[in-house]
Amino acid sequence: MLDTLRKSASGIVAKILMGLLILSFGIWGIADVFRGFGSQTLATIGSTEITVPEFRQIYQERLQQISQQLKRGITPDMARAFGLPDQVLNERLAEAALDDQAKSLGLALSDEEIAKRVQQNPAFFGPSGSFDPAYFARLLRQNNYTEARFVDAERRLALRQQIIQSLGGGVTVPAVLKDALVRFDKEERAVNYALLRPTSLPALADPTDEELRSFFDARKVAFRAPEYRTVDVLALTPQTLAGSESVTDAEVEAAYTNNQSRYGTPETRVVQQIVFPTAEEAKAAADRIAAGTPFSDIVAERKLTPADVDLGTVTKAGIIDKAVADAAFSLPADGTSGLVAGRFGPVIVHVGAITPATVKPLAEVAPEIRTEIQLDAARRALLAKYDQVEDERASGAKLSEIASKLGLTVQSITTNIQGQTPDGASIPDLPGRADVLRGAFAADVGAENDAVQLAQNGGYVWYEVQSVTAPRDRTFDEARAQVLDRWKQDKAAEALDQKVEEIKAKIAAGMPFDQAVTEAGLELRAANGLRRGRAADGVPQEILDAVFTTAQGGTGSAEAEGGESRILFLVLNVTTPPGGDLDEKVLADVRQSVENDVMTEYLVQLQSDLGARVNRAALDQIVGADAVN
């Protein structure tokens, strides 16, 4: 949840500029120490101030994010080694500069627009798929936000976006750059190539026990047992709650009666129609048909083709004209109507074959209907159950205790970060699996963690780390099977590389490419019209990068099939087209890159105009640098 809220309330840097604002310290000039700051002032730019408490909170949140990404804690020393303090401060100064500029430009946003912006943010949608005020308020409380503070952050974000978006308007890509990109994108190459697989080489002899032990000793770290964690997981989803929702047979029958069209196929009819220019002509034709003239004769007399009269095999709902639909579905098979006042003129309708509607019996679809009703009820009950779980957690209860009390189920799994058990099997499927594993391997034993919010179908997942088994070196006997597989892979790769070099040496000595390949017992293949980033039938994609870095007439090689095979190729021809129209997606990417350059230059100039002053002593105190001085 905290991540969801942070994404909504974070600055323009994280949303638009990303790494563009993490510039060198010379841009913002934050290396200097200025005196005369207030005790709670960390930095100023223009008339905007960054306070110590504000930056401390931002910095701590960033440390938590990085710890989760690295799946381990990050110390103050490590953070400083990464340059994190100055990076975070650079971002906040950039935001502050935009805030100051928004003030000077007189930009503003009404309360109504802010309210609309919040209500349209999917981060605050409840199970119904729309804005949920109660959920919004609870999310703010859980993340220590007041409504006023959040609205202020959202307002400043919107104003920054106005400035940034105004910079991108009207940016055009230079014609010379477009032409160069077209030539790069549409360049084509033709090659001859051969694929070398391990099966192309003599079978490897099995290693001796001594060779295998020596191989293992040189690579022990590759065969270490990873860290495993035993984690309790409590999933709260419509599916987990559905089973506890009671549904009566009467409710199932009512749902079946009200939605019968869902449980079968509607009636279809082969329908034809003749549209007449006047009602008098239609009436005359209808009278003749009533007197015995076949409908087909009227069609022939009016020199109409089947395409002119056929509506096809249609359902009643599939006929746009209601009058025609009513007439067609009131006739018997091979029946013809009288004059019908259609939307597009007077019409005579003829019906051919009729396929009756089918409806599955209630007994056949009752389980499906019951499940749907249970899921619908579970979605409505989900938030209330969530509150119950959170109340129990607030009182200090463990997940196993909460599950027992509320009739839920806790899964206890022992896994590594990849989701594998110690015996190599995959753990049971979990809602939010990736987020749960990532969080569990960044959490302490017994620590209380924020629930993972599920975007798809709604729901929440809580997890508690019960124990940690540290990584350790496996013995040779434990790892023997893995060691043998790795030895075979390495030896096969060495043999393939050696064979490729042998063939290349023959080609370099003057032997034609096709002859060298054929003598090696390989199949010679050809590929024409190869282009960068394009799939080509039968041509491994791994060949493309290597082909487009090899000159015409040159020979090259590349790994293929995940590194298990090798490709040897000869570039026969290179075709470079003249400039032309650039693909819209590529053009959009280039335009975005140009816009990013404009934004960066704007921010550099803005800093120069406003000036940045930083209390380095306060910054060092926040990030712990003074403790090592």
Q: List the domain boundaries for the chain.
A: 2-170+595-627, 188-223+477-575, 228-243+378-469, 267-356
Q: What is the residue-wise DSSP string for 118-164?
A: HHT-GGGB-TTSSB-HHHHHHHHHHTT--HHHHHHHHHHHHHHHHHH
Q: From CA 220, how far away is CA 476, in angstroms rounded? A: 9
Q: What is the pLDDT of residue 170?
A: 65
Q: How far is CA 269 from CA 307, 338, 342, 343, 346, in A?
A: 17, 18, 18, 20, 21
Q: What is the pLDDT of residue 291?
A: 92
Q: What is the pLDDT of residue 71?
A: 62
Closest by alpha carbon to 555, among 540, 541, 539, 572?
Answer: 572
Tally of CB atoms within 10 A around 68: 17
CB neighbour list of residue 141: distance below 8 Å, 6 or more residues apart = none
Residues paired with 22 in a beta bridge: none
Tally of CB atoms within 10 A around 492: 17
Q: What is the pLDDT of residue 32?
A: 42
Q: What is the pLDDT of residue 8?
A: 39
Domains 2-170+595-627 and 188-223+477-575 share a fold: no
Classify domain 228-243+378-469 at the CATH class level. Answer: alpha beta
Residues paired with 15 in a beta bridge: none
Closest by alpha carbon to 517, among 528, 525, 509?
Answer: 525
- Model-level pTM? 0.48
Do residues 427 and 348 lie in contact, with contact meaning Cβ atoms separated by under 8 Å? no
Q: What is the pLDDT of residue 229?
A: 95
Write down the number of H helices and E strands in the chain: 25, 17
**Distance, CA of 561 to chain centre:** 25
Which residues, given as ranges, of the chain have pLDDT below 70?
Answer: 1-39, 70-73, 127-128, 142-144, 168-170, 456-457, 579-582, 625-629
Architecture of the CATH domain 188-223+477-575: Roll (3.10)
Query: Quick one: angle between helices 147-168 and 111-119, nearest 10?
Result: 90
Q: What is the pLDDT of residue 84?
A: 87
Long-range CB contacts (within 8 A, 24+) of 138-144 = 138/387, 139/1, 139/4, 139/5, 140/5, 142/1, 142/2, 142/450, 143/1, 143/2, 143/5, 143/6
Q: From CA 380, how far away is CA 382, in angstroms rounded? A: 6
Q: In CATH, what number does 267-356 get?
A: 3.10.50.40
Listed in order, strand segments (DSSP E) in 179-329 are 188-196, 228-236, 264-265, 268-275, 310-314
Q: What is the pLDDT of residue 457?
A: 67
Q: From CA 422, how far away is CA 536, in angstroms rounded? A: 41
Any idea which fold 2-170+595-627 has? Triger factor/SurA peptide-binding fold (1.10.4030)
Q: How far is CA 142 from CA 116, 146, 290, 387, 555, in A?
A: 22, 10, 77, 12, 62
